[in-house]
A and B are shown apart, each in its own frame.
Chain A
Amino acid sequence: MAQTTGILNASSIRFFTGTTDGTHTVVANVTECSISMSTDVRDITTKTSAGWKEILPALKSASINVSGYFAEDATNGFNTLVGYQVAGTKVFATFSNVGSSAIPNVGDKEFDVAGYITSIEQTAGFEDNVTWSLTMDLTGAVVHETIA
């Protein structure tokens, strides 16, 4: 299958987790997910920098934020995820394009990562959906690879 062309529909991006590498199932009832990466910098500015700050890249880090609706009986939903946070379980995850066809988009890119759920919350107002959200801080390299 060829790489998808054009601007992607955000609903095609799914978040999968598992407790062993490569055995990920989709997180249920997700409404929004994002992955962010950043690079710290070290200042190497000197008297010879002609008045302009000079930097070099330093430590890289990444995190994932996910939110969704709560369902008591969901497979791989909030109840599973809060268990990971309480137990300090290392979570393996993919942030992947599943597309609209029966087969995920082989040829497109996905993120393959691991980390720990460092914050998770459940919110319940009145006469509304119960919702949840989490932050997963990633450990090790972020692998951005082609779906095969």
Chain B
Amino acid sequence: MIVTLNQPLQDFGYDWPAGFQVEVSMKFYRKLVESGHVDAHPEDEKYKKAAKPKKAAATVDTEPENTPE
């Protein structure tokens, strides 16, 4: 997976500036996505599922029930 860093990485023995492009293993890509160093690839099924919007909650009628006078 070829990734482009959106922030500098100074960890795991690497010292790379923001904008640095490098090919990484799938496991490392996932770590970098989790740490916010790279954006998830739009075709990555794992993050596609996570990004799906939730269904709107069903409308609840909050009007008070009619009470007999």
B residues adjacent to A (C-beta < 8 A): 1-2, 12-14, 22-28, 31, 41, 43-45
| B26 x A18 contact (CB < 8 A) | no
A25-B22, A98-B1 as given contacts; A103 in contact with B27, CB under 8 Å: no
Residue in chain B with minimal CB distance to A147 = B26
Partner of A18, one of B2, B13, B41, B44: B13
| A94 x B43 contact (CB < 8 A) | no
Partner of B12, one of A20, A104, A148: A20
| A101 x B28 contact (CB < 8 A) | no
Partner of B43, one of A16, A18, A102: A102
User: How many residues in A have their beta carbons less than 8 Å from beta carbons of B?
Assistant: 24
| B1 x A18 contact (CB < 8 A) | no
| B41 x A22 contact (CB < 8 A) | no
| A25 x B1 contact (CB < 8 A) | no
A75-B22, A98-B1 as given contacts; A19 in contact with B44, CB under 8 Å: no
Roughly how many angstroms separate A102 CA and B1 CA in the complex, as a whole number? 7
Residue in chain B with minimal CB distance to A76 = B22
